[in-house]
Homo-oligomer: A and B are copies of this chain.
Amino acid sequence: MLELRLVQGSLLKKVLEAIKDLVTDANFDCSATGFSLQAMDSSHVALVALLLRSEGFEHYRCDRNISMGMNLNNMSKMLKCAGNDDIITIKGDDGSDTVTFMFESPNQDKISDFEMKLMDIDSEHLGIPEAEYHAIVKMPSSEFGRICKDLSSIGDTVVISVSKEGVKFSTRGDIGSANIVCRQNKTVDKPEGATIIEMNEPVSLTFALRYLNSFTKATTLSESVTISLSSELPVVVEYKIADMGYIRFYLAPKIEDEEEDMKS
C-alpha cells in the first residue's frame, strides 16, 4: 500500500518535464526515506538521480519498499492533465501492476484519477560514490541554461574551466569560437542570484552540450544550480527541489586526445 500526497503538484509535473526527454523508462523507488529514481539516459551516457524526501509530502505512506517501472512519456502525459495548482496523490497497491495518480483541484470541485500500467524494467542501480570535487560552482540556473543554449549554437562541446578568475565556458565550431566567463559574485540582493565558486584546485573539463542542454530542462525547479567538477569524474549538475530533495544529473567528461587538441 502506497499513498503519497503532494500538495504542490506542479513540482512533480516539472520533474517529469525535466527528465522525460533524457530517460524513456525508469523505476521509481519508494521507501520510508522518500520517492526516488535513478536512471541512465537512453544512450547510456548521462545519469539522472531524483530524490523527493518523504517529509516533503503532506501525507506519506509506504508500507514496504517498492519499485515501480514507468514509461516517463506516458506518466508525463497523465501529469499534464493535472492543473498546476492541483494536489497530486500517487497511489499503489501491493501486487498491482498499475499506479494511480489522483488530482484534486484547489477548491475540490474536480477530482481526477488516472491509472497507468506499470512495466518491468531492468534497473542497474549504480552506487554513486561520494566524491571530493576540485571545484563547486553555484550560479543562477537561468544563467547556466542561457549559457548552454547560447554555446550550442556555436559548437557541440563546452570546456568548463574553473580558476581563481571565475568559471569559463568555452566552445568552438565551424563558424567561430566563444568564451563566457562568470566571475564570483556574492553581492547580489537575493542569495539565489549569486554566483559562488568554491575551488580547491583549478579544473578544466569538456562536455557534450547536447546533454547539458537536456539537464537545463530542470531550470524551472530551482533558481540556482550547482555544478561539481573533478578531473576524470563525471560532472554533477544539481537542482535543489525546495523542501523536498533534488534532481542530479551526471555526465562523464570527454577525454580530448592530442589529435583533437591539435585540430582545435
Binding site for B on A (CB under 8 A): 71, 74, 77-78, 80-81, 98, 107-117, 143, 150-151, 153-154, 175-183, 185, 195
Contact = CB atoms under 8 A, between A and B. Distances in A.
A228 B116 CA distance: 31
A80 B153 contact: yes
Given A78-B154, A81-B154, 16 more contacts: A74-B175, A77-B154, A78-B178, A98-B176, A107-B185, A108-B183, A109-B195, A110-B143, A110-B182, A111-B181, A112-B178, A112-B181, A114-B177, A115-B178, A116-B175, A116-B176
A189 to B, nearest CB: 11
B181 A150 contact: no
Contacts of A77: 153-154, 175
B178 A80 contact: no
Q: How many copies does the complex hold?
A: 2
Tell me the interface secondary structure of chain A in the complex.
strand
Nearest to A117: B176
A176 B70 CA distance: 12
A176 B78 contact: yes
A21 B245 CA distance: 47
22 contacts: A77-B153, A77-B154, A78-B175, A78-B178, A80-B150, A80-B153, A81-B150, A81-B151, A81-B153, A107-B185, A109-B185, A110-B180, A110-B181, A110-B182, A111-B180, A111-B181, A111-B183, A112-B178, A112-B180, A113-B179, A114-B177, A117-B175
Contacts of A114: 154, 176-179
Contact of A179 (B74, B112, B150): B112
Contacts of A151: 81
A143 B74 CA distance: 22
Nearest to A116: B176
Nearest to A178: B114
Contacts of A116: 175-176
Contacts of A81: 150-151, 153-154, 178
A110 B107 CA distance: 45
